[in-house]
Structure 1
Amino acid sequence: MKTMFASLIAAVTLGLSPAMAQEDAPAETSAEAPADAEGCEDHGALTRYPGSVIEWCKTDNYLPYKIPVGPVTGYRAIGDWVETEGRVTRNFYSLKGERTHPEVWKNYKDALVEAGFEIIAEGMFPESNVRGEIGGGNWLGVYYRNNAFGKPGAVNKLVSGTSSSGGTGAVFGKKERAEDTIYVLVSLEQHSKDEVAALVTVVETKEAESGLVVANAEAMGKDIEELGRTVIDGLFFDHDKATLKAESKPALDEVAKLLETMADKSFYVVGHTDATGTFAYNQKLSADRAAAVRDALMQDYAVASERLQAEGVGPLSPVFTNAAEGGREKNRRVELVEK
């Protein structure tokens, strides 16, 4: 136990890499252990509990995030939240073996306290059906519902439950840094008799640079296969117009590659706006922008017209709240939706 706690403390305090942080971990973290999911690694702020495997991960350069810090007050409702935004990194860990969720919870809490985090919410229960208390099963359900995972995978264990579920817990920490505020949010459950499932979420509130992400054909293809739709990142239009700027070409190049690899599929090109202005204005703007993308793909990349249908839905399908500029920026987008 002492060795495991030291590993967690080292990573939280010094930001060590996963490999360095686990040098003293027990044999269960050896090379024979199951591999992490492709593209996943520990966040530099907090390493894993030794022996855990990352089965799912997701990083958003910008995301509004709601952090519950009070008990459940009603049906699917918590009365006290910290509403923040920034870069959100989520890792879902599975720990197989004899370790129990109270032991894992205690190690994470001690590591956060030792690293100077203020604990803003905590609770751990031997039974998972605790009604309303911080860290209980109902409380976690409201927390997850307000912060959708946004990508399918093993993380859904946390909302599926099992007949042998043995309890839940959460410990949320906050720390002021020179450049921003960082939150580390650990929620977990005794998913079964021999498995502890934990979601470690890190929210870094430093303002993210925009315009850095460009569409990638391979990533968009995975979105189409899993979700039936994908956002075309890296499109730029003149302000309040449907004129595509020259810097949109790299994104269009990638869309053309995607369409070539999916030659048997047809798509809706769907324009979206934020909620600023009238609905009629936004609906027309979104339709015109979708048409501009369709026309560019047809004229510059010889995509057959029957494969693309342009539509605009204005502000009707936001991905984030329109209350903040960061959310409005994400809502202004063009998507490919499989027919």
Structure 2
Amino acid sequence: MPRRLIFAAILALAAPFAATAADIDGIVEHPMIDRYPGQSIRWQTIENYRPYRIPTGPVTGYRTIDDWIDIEGRVTRTYYTYKGTDRSWDEIFLNFRDAFELEQFESLGIGFSDDRRGVDIGSRQWLNAYLAENPLTGQGEVLAITSGSSSQGGQGVFVGTKDRASGRVYVVVTVEQHSQDLVATLIDVVEVKPPETGFVVVGAEAIGRDMIEKGHVVLDGILFDFDKATLQAASDEALGVIAGWLKQNPGRFYVVGHTDAVGSFDYNQSLSEARAQTVIEALVDRYGIARERLQGHGVGPLVPVFSNADEAARDRNRRVELVEWPE
């Protein structure tokens, strides 16, 4: 079961929450989100598949943002309201921001403003440009977020992403003081399913980028027969890309095999090492990479990227990585 967000701020137990309207009918709150205490849901749309644009930069022209991430996936858009004057927009916004950061979401953009002016993330112009690319559909109270009020206040936006076993997820959280006694929150969650195993091949550009940033790279596209260290023919394209990168980038590297946690440790460690050695043999014998540049190791299930709780997680844990070998 996916973890729900936990609010980082501790709310005073003695402070009563404002009375709120009930949720509208038919709500299926996203399992990843816990609403701020006292909020009610006044609008929601869920689409199993649609294109979406995630903005990551400031406004550069009339309803124009240059920096976008274009994705496709399941989109859940939920509009919350908090009625009362005992909580401000910035308090609610900071709770959401801290909760996502606590859950290790990578920030792609963050901004807040007391007057909503300017062109940065969190400004009124930025929100208009974002909603122009991702229009709100249907009717309901959410449409109020596109217009101001005589007593409106500040606004904050958090844009973030996280890689999960079931695929990458993006969130865009907008919190605004819509009027003196109403704080509005729009949370968009976009879930991108991972491609089927074996259809993605690591690219030379990705190898170089991950080596510089992380010191290691997962060699996508390397496939083995089930429970064996035998390479499948579908691995040829990835091996060619890896060999090409190695020829352009001198140095020594570890080739490290990983498994899931099913079975005994000794068996998995042995299998992971055999798979690492098989990759080395292919690079040396078929592509002419000098053997002394590569050293194989197997760590079995010791370095999972996910929890092994389900097949999607176990599939992501089964991998071969190229790791820098410092001189």
TM-score (norm 2): 0.55
After superposition, what is the alpha-carbon deviation per residue over 1:292-333, rounded to whole angstroms, capped at 9, x for unaligned?
111111111111122111111111111122111111111100
The answer for the alignment partner of 2:56 in structure 1 is: 93
1:220 CA drift (Å): 1.3
Cα root mean square deviation, aligned: 4.4
Distance change (3 Å), C-alpha of 1:209 and 1:138: same
Aligned residue type for 2:101: Y
1:267 CA drift (Å): 0.8
Matched, 1:236 2:223: yes
TM-score (norm 1): 0.53
Distance change (3 Å), C-alpha of 1:117 and 1:251: closer
Q: Secondary structure at the match of 1:255?
A: helix
After superposition, what is the alpha-carbon deviation per residue over 1:249-277, rounded to whole angstroms, capped at 9, x for unaligned?
111000001101102x2111111111111
State the identity %: 37
Which structure 2 residues correspond to residues 196-211 of structure 1 after superposition, within 5 A?
201-204=189-192, 208-211=195-198
CA distance in 1, matches of 2:261, 2:51: 24
Higher Rg of the two aligned structures: 2
Distance change (3 Å), C-alpha of 1:259 and 1:312: same
CA distance in 1, matches of 2:30, 2:307: 16
Provide structure 2 residue ranges, at least 5 long, that are not aligned to the other structure: 11-28, 34-48, 61-74, 114-121, 123-153, 160-168, 177-185
State which of 63, 79, 103 in structure 2 corresponds to 1:146. 103
Aligned 8 A contact 1:91 1:201 in 2: no
The answer for the alignment partner of 2:173 in structure 1 is: 187
1:145 CA drift (Å): 3.6
Matched, 1:277 2:236: no
CA distance in 1, matches of 2:155, 2:213: 31
User: Which has the larger share of helix?
Assistant: 1
Matched, 1:324 2:283: no
The answer for the alignment partner of 1:224 in structure 2 is: 211
1:185 CA drift (Å): 3.3
CA distance in 2, matches of 1:290, 1:338: 15
Distance change (3 Å), C-alpha of 1:311 and 1:93: same
1:229 CA drift (Å): 1.1
Aligned residue type for 2:223: F
1:93 CA drift (Å): 2.3
CA distance in 2, matches of 1:226, 1:189: 33
CA distance in 2, matches of 1:218, 1:200: 31
Distance change (3 Å), C-alpha of 1:138 and 1:316: farther
1:219 CA drift (Å): 1.9
The size of the alignment, in residue pairs, is 222
The answer for the alignment partner of 2:21 in structure 1 is: none
The answer for the alignment partner of 2:253 in structure 1 is: 267
State which of 279, 284, 296 in structure 2 corresponds to 1:298. 284
Distance change (3 Å), C-alpha of 1:258 and 1:200: farther
